[in-house]
């Protein structure tokens, strides 16, 4: 009997070491993606941006991808492989992040318009690298974990990414310490670290490819054809899971950008943490739970605990489509409590429900794609999903800010008037931010009403439930086994 040669990926220690190395890049991109949310007040007070302009800035992350840049990146990944594509994308994301940081410092012009344009340019570059890097990392995980702990590994990768979101949302304001550019430079530097570690990972990738070539595992690999995209877009199961992706994430990612500001304005939470010196442990806990950025950060923090658990559950028990239905139901509850209800307790329960939903759906969705699509076409498949997702994100990143301004014209005018007065008095940007925060806390500056912007996200939850049911029906007909455990693929 011919002896089967053991591959590098057959070692659990090596597999999970590789996972750790590539996940740091995910950590950095998620950090930078969500770094702007807790700094929204600084964009208003230090740069003079309105909520609409802030929404335009965060929406610009998706613009290049609306022109199918992610699909082109996915095609490049399928044609050129992980190494060449990965280096290009990681560098683009890193450069874009630093352009945003330097733009906030006036490197490309000191006027508000010049700063906004330069920062948008940086976010566009970052967006090209961000989304296609996510495709790259998903494809890499499948390469190392398919037939093993795939859902669990994808869950752990999500955990690391969400940890980046948690750190950015919870501590980004503290790190900035009153200086917007400090928060942005820190976030960009973390992407740079992730890029360095990804380059180190490539040594493992080269070795594995050599082994796979020797064992002829790549013999069936053929060249990319554009009909592969057509095949994807005519596959009912893929269509439903792609549309579910855009509906679900459009109700979550844009919300995270506004969540700290929502909690400050709707429930009267603090924006900055008070001095904890001399407080009892209970008082410190209460101060934490009454701080907008810290509480908003609990949403991605919850995924750190639940996503690997749910991923392991999907591996062992299956029921991926059913899990996506449950996550969509929780999403509706979350947005209803945070838009229509004024109870702080119900608000906490809504944030908890969103954290669980944010764990359930990704833990089931991404491994399911690997069942629906042939492995050698996963780069194109994930890229297509991220492209469709970006259309929804673009609308709601900007849409929440626009609806917020339209629903609160008097607040917008008051904030701009007070800011202009404080700037005319010669206050520094950090002092302007601090003074506006004080005036909002005392009621001298009115609070934004977030009811309409968040209520419109409930519709996305309803659409997500419908699509998850349709996915389960399609899977029964096409036989991909989304409801089956991993070992019965």
Radius of gyration of the chain (CA): 23
Does residue 298 register a pLDDT over 50?
Answer: yes
Task: Compare 302 and 68 and report the one with higher pLDDT.
Answer: 302
- pLDDT at position 5 is 63
pTM across the whole model: 0.72
pLDDT for 133 beyond 80: no
Segment among 112-116, 187-191, 212-216, 276-280 with least mean pLDDT: 212-216
Domains, the chain, with CATH or none: 19-213+227-408+448-488 (1.20.1250.20)
3-state secondary structure of 36: coil
pLDDT, position 488? 56
Give me the pLDDT at residue 458, please.
92
Residue 248 binned pLDDT confidence (cut-offs 50, 70, 90): very high
pLDDT at 102: 94
Average pLDDT over residues 202-229: 65
Q: Given this model, what pLDDT does residue 382 score?
A: 75
Please tell me the distance from the alpha carbon of residue 286 to that of residue 217, in angstroms, as a whole number: 56
Give the pLDDT of residue 215.
Answer: 56
Do 303 and 163 contact (CB within 8 A), yes or no?
no
Stretch 80-90: mean pLDDT:
79
Average confidence (pLDDT) over 374-393: 76
Q: Would the pLDDT of 2 be above 50?
A: no
**Considering only CA atoms, which of 386, 380, 377 is closest in space to residue 64?**
386
Residue written as tokens 């974990």? 145
Q: Which residue has the higher pLDDT, 315 or 53?
A: 53
What DSSP letter does each residue of 154-196 carry, written as one string?
Answer: HHHHHHHHHHHHHHHHHHHHHHHTT-HHHHHHHHHHHHHHHHH
Least confident of 168-182, 214-228, 420-434: 214-228
What proportion of the chain, given as a percentage, has pLDDT over 90? 17
pLDDT in the model for residue 216: 53
Residue 451: what pLDDT? 92
Stronger pLDDT, 302 or 352, i.e. the higher one: 352
Q: Which of 62-66, 156-160, 256-260 has the lowest mean pLDDT?
A: 62-66
The predicted structure's pLDDT at residue 212? 72
Please tell me the predicted confidence (pLDDT) of residue 89: 82
Q: Which range (112-116, 216-220, 309-313, 430-434) has the least confidence?
A: 216-220
pLDDT at 1: 39
CB 260 within 8 A of CB 169: yes
Q: What is the mean pLDDT of the chain?
A: 83
Query: What's the whole-number mean pLDDT along residues 51-60?
Result: 87
Whether 29 has a pLDDT exceeding 70, the answer reads yes
Neighbours of 219 (CB within 10 A): 9
H helices of 251-377, where?
A: 253-267, 281-289, 292-296, 298-317, 320-339, 344-372
Give the model confidence (pLDDT) of 436-470 as tens digits.
888 888 888 888 899 999 998 999 999 999 999 99
Identify which of 272, 244, 257, 279 has the alpha carbon closest to the alpha carbon of residue 389. 244
**Band of pLDDT at residue 221, cut at 50, 70 and 90:** very low
Q: Which of 10-24, 134-148, 230-244 has the lowest mean pLDDT?
A: 134-148
* Neighbour-count burial of 164, counting CB atoms closer than 10 A to its CB (0-12 exposed, 13-18 middle, 19+ buried): buried
């Amino acid at each position: 009997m011919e002896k089967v040669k053991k591959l590098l990926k057959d070692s659990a220690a090596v597999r999970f070491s590789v996972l750790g190395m590539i996940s740091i890049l995910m950590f950095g991109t998620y950090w930078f993606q969500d770094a702007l949310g807790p700094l929204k007040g600084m964009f208003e007070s230090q740069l003079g941006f309105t909520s609409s302009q802030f929404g335009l800035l965060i929406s610009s992350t998706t613009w290049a991808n609306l022109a199918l840049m992610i699909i082109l990146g996915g095609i490049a990944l399928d044609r050129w492989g992980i190494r060449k594509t990965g280096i290009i994308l990681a560098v683009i994301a890193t450069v874009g992040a630093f352009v945003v940081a330097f733009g906030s410092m006036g490197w490309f012009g000191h006027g508000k318009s010049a700063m906004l344009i330069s920062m948008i340019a940086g976010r566009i570059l970052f967006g090209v690298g961000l989304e296609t890097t996510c495709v790259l990392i998903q494809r890499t995980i499948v390469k190392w974990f398919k037939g093993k702990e795939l859902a669990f590994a994808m869950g752990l990768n999500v955990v690391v990414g969400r940890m980046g979101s948690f750190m950015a949302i919870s501590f980004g304001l503290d790190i900035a310490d009153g200086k917007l550019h400090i928060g942005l430079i820190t976030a960009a530097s973390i992407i740079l670290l992730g890029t360095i570690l990804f380059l180190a990972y490539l040594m493992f990738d080269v070795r594995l490819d050599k082994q796979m070539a020797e064992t002829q595992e790549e013999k069936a690999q053929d060249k990319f054809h554009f009909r592969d995209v057509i095949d994807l877009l005519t596959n009912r199961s893929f269509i439903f899971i792609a549309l579910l992706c855009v509906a679900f994430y459009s109700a979550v990612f844009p919300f995270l950008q506004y969540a700290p500001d929502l909690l400050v304005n709707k429930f009267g939470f603090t924006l900055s943490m008070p001095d904890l010196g001399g407080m009892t442990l209970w008082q410190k806990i209460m101060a934490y739970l009454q701080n907008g950025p810290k509480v908003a950060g609990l949403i991605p923090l919850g995924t750190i605990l639940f996503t690997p658990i749910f991923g392991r559950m999907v591996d062992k028990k299956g029921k991926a489509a059913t899990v996506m239905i449950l996550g969509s139901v929780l999403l509706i509850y979350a947005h209803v409590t945070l838009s229509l209800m004024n109870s702080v307790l119900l608000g906490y329960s809504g944030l908890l429900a969103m954290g669980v939903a944010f764990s359930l759906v990704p833990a089931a969705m991404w491994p399911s794609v690997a069942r629906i699509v042939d492995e050698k076409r996963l780069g194109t498949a994930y890229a297509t999903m991220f492209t469709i997702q970006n259309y929804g994100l673009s609308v709601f990143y900007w849409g929440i800010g626009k609806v917020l301004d339209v629903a609160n014209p008097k607040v917008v005018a008051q904030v701009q008037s007070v800011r202009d007065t404080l700037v005319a008095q010669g206050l520094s940007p950090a002092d302007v931010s601090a003074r506006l925060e004080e005036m909002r806390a005392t009621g001298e500056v009115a609070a934004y009403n977030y009811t309409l912007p968040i209520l419109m996200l409930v519709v996305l939850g309803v659409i997500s439930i419908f699509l998850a049911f349709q996915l389960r029906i399609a899977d029964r007909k096409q036989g991909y086994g989304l409801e089956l455990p991993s070992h019965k693929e």
